[in-house]
Structure 1
Amino acid sequence: MSFSRFEIPLRTIMTPGPVEVDPRVLQAMSSPILGQFDPAFTAIMNEVMEMLRQLFRTSNRWAYPIDGTSRAGIEALLCSIIEQGDKVLIPIYGRFGYLLAEICERYGAHVYTIECEWGNVFDPKEVINEIKKVRPKIVAIVHGETSTGCMQPLKEIGEFCREMDVLLVVDAVATIGGTEVNVDEWYLDGVIGGTQKCISVPSGMAPITYNDRVEKVVLSRKKVERGIQTDLDRSIPSTGKTIISNYFDLSQLQDYWGPRRLNHHTEATSMLYALREGLRIILGEGLTKRFERHRLHERALVAGIEAMGLSLFGDKKRKLPTVTCVNIPDGVDGESVRRMLLHEFGIEIASSFGPLHGKIWRIGTMGYSCRKENILRLLTALEAVLVYHSVRVNRGEGVQEALKVYVEQSKVMNAGW
């Protein structure tokens, strides 16, 4: 049996992840393999840790990637601090809040949830009042909910959690590298990112950071194996407590990423090259400028969508700048529109989940995908596809309004020279 030559179709990816990968990252991935304890490779590990501290805006000792997708990072952080019967409070305002709840339940936590209507977020005072009632050990919350295109304010919640000695764990998968995530300033104890969104690296790593408050809990759950020096000099989870995953055990990963360099798993060499290059690009651009770039292209996209005659889903005041949710016009087959965009124009956008499935489209403007040519191409193609589907749109207006945003921005930039 023979197989055809390996060929991947060219796509303009405008989903909430995965997104397009910078060519410089792809080039870095083709570099020769090094052994995981080669000094050249451990030097790369150290560089990645320092770059992640800058990305997360933290002075935490621990900032490193979990080998696995974003969900792996979430599970690693939660399973390493949850013990049987621990109270965990999870405010849910979209699909990924439910994921946090499921993971916590699987590790034996007593999970408390509060929910608000999809398309909204919580007033921080609502969360604070629930913390007062529940008195949890952990609050776990999503920062940017890609299923609804909304972003939850965190600073006030973080301050109160610190006052109450509650650990605050944050899913920042959709926000890190694309908008403000200020770990230390917002009093976030543990934060999880993902490579496949605003960092613009292929899916497969989950950068995390956590402070000494989290580390204290992690280390309290270790004991030396029967008091015997083993060939691995390894610590194992304490007996009588919830069993910690071996692969996701942060105490073992600390030994691997720390100066001891104890073998835990074989590091994903090429992915670490990719992450290093992706982080180098981000820091080279500058976080403030990068966030401004994401806001600019968001403004252009929103201006184009609304000028076309379409409407946005959700509370605009709490909009996630890296994801734009568009209401599907009445009577329109949203999946048919998506298929035509993909097959006729090579552009991919996303549908949504649960109660929003078939009701909204989700458009990602993340990382390397967040470019002017992508925005203009999408608006042009979307108008053409909607006209084909007999949707009454303001023809030509969408692209023109987006162009106005870019032209005005150019005038501002030129005035600054």
Structure 2
Amino acid sequence: MELKKIGELITSNRILLGPGPSNYDPRVMKAMTSPLISHLDPEIYSILDETIELLKYLFKTKNEVTLPMSGTGTAGGETAFTNVIEEGDKAIVCLNGFFSERNVEMIERCGGEVIRIDAEWGKPIDIEEVEKTLRENPDVKVLSMTHGETSTGVFTPLKEVGKFCSQTPTLFVVDAVPTLGGMDVDVDGWNIDICYSGTQKCLSAPPAMAPITFNQKAIDVIKNRKTKIQTLYLDAIELMRHWGKERKYHHTLPIVMIYALREALRIIYEEGLEERFKRHEEISQLLKTHLTEMGFKLFAQEGYRLPMLTSVEIPEGFNEKVIRTKLLNEYNIEIGGGFGKLAGKLLRVGLMGYSCSKRNVYYLISALKEIMS
């Protein structure tokens, strides 16, 4: 078979202001050009250890089983649920958007029975309803909550739920894919048993790894399973034997992506968590102010709006696809549209990690004004 001539790879240098991925710091790019070493080279072990320590800092945890899973944020969710859900296990899933809906499918594929708590899209989960449902179902093995719902731009407070779960056998599993690195995620302080995220949003690293942490309560549940975990690749105990002191081979680690994650985490550490959270909040408010002045209506409920993801309803007479296409083709700016049942109704603007800057806000607003004039 004759192949057509395939030229050098040349991609556009986009300003990524969608719901992820975000642009990454030049230091991350530089780290990825470091010479490749083997995943079994003794030199890699200190790099793995440093990456784990930085993740513990970010998660605000002392959990021994803390590591970046090879794969995107969805792999983090699969790792969380496949390790603890067995056939017939009950799980409460809180749903208020597209991505929390995916947790239902992951749990059901593990054989779990789902009890739904639904909230209107754009609204936070009703914490009182969660506690009521937990009381009514004391045999529930897992409570699944999404800290920040990327499809709508809303977050749900977790501290009170975590405190309640800590007094029960139920495991509190949290999806922090958009929020980790952009707002407070206090794993130990909020009594979260399993928490997972992704690297491509507020961590500003390539989309390739899923940071995840398990506390001892979760590890005890895994060790006391009635059946063997159905996937070798996502087995948390085996994974930690590779990342931990045993250095037992599990799978070929994506070394270059670990270089990138380590550097992205170093940048976060140097900035400091509180300063980083403050930057995301202040620049988010700047964006929201300008968008509302232009006639956009903020979609997520006031008081529960994500700092790193702003969702807005489009003014009458304008088309979501046309706006996004012009931003991309004429200004090199990528933003997101509505997802799921909100398709065509919203614009979603991400200000995540390295992409969260005043410069990007002013450039986006100027471009929108030109397009909509």
Q: Same fold (TM over 0.5)?
A: yes
List per-residue Cα deviations over 1:55-87 (Å, max 9, x = no partner). 000111111000000000110111011111111
Q: 1:178 aligns with which of 178, 182, 186?
A: 182
Aligned-partner Cα distance in 2 for 1:349–1:83 = 39
Q: 1:193 aligns with which of 191, 197, 202?
A: 197
Residue 362, structure 1, aligned to residue 309, structure 2? no
Residue 9, structure 1, aligned to residue 46, structure 2? no
Larger deviation, residues 261-270 vs 126-135: 126-135
Aligned-partner Cα distance in 1 for 2:325–2:39 = 43
Code of the residue aligned with 2:251 in structure 1: it is H
Code of the residue aligned with 2:308 in structure 1: it is T
Alignment of 1:116-135 (within 5 A): 116-135=119-138
Alignment of 1:17-416 (within 5 A): 17-135=20-138, 136-221=140-225, 241=227, 243-387=229-373
Shift of 1:220: 2.2
Q: Tell me which residue corresponds to 1:233.
A: none
Aligned-partner Cα distance in 2 for 1:42–1:24 = 21
Aligned-partner Cα distance in 2 for 1:310–1:213 = 45
Code of the residue aligned with 1:43 in structure 2: it is S
Shift of 1:309: 2.2
Code of the residue aligned with 2:59 in structure 1: it is F
List per-residue Cα deviations over 1:153-202 (Å, max 9, x = no partner). 10000000111221000000000000000011111000001000000000
| TM-score with structure 2 setting the length | 0.97
Shift of 1:5: 2.4
Aligned-partner Cα distance in 1 for 2:168–2:156 = 20
SS at match of 1:263: coil
Structure 1: gaps (5+ residues): 222-237, 388-417
Structure 2: gaps (5+ residues): none
Report if aligned partners of 1:84, 1:242 keep a CA contact under 8 Å in 2: no
SS at match of 1:317: coil
Task: State the Cα RMSD in Å.
Answer: 1.1
List per-residue Cα deviations over 1:338-396 (Å, max 9, x = no partner). 00010000011101212211111000010011011111000000111111xxxxxxxxx
Report if aligned partners of 1:52, 1:207 keep a CA contact under 8 Å in 2: yes
Shift of 1:134: 2.2
SS at match of 1:163: coil
Aligned-partner Cα distance in 2 for 1:45–1:36 = 10
Aligned length: 369
Aligned-partner Cα distance in 2 for 1:198–1:76 = 21
Aligned-partner Cα distance in 1 for 2:39–2:86 = 32
Shift of 1:243: 4.6
Report if aligned partners of 2:91, 2:142 keep a CA contact under 8 Å in 1: yes
Report if aligned partners of 1:107, 1:242 keep a CA contact under 8 Å in 2: no
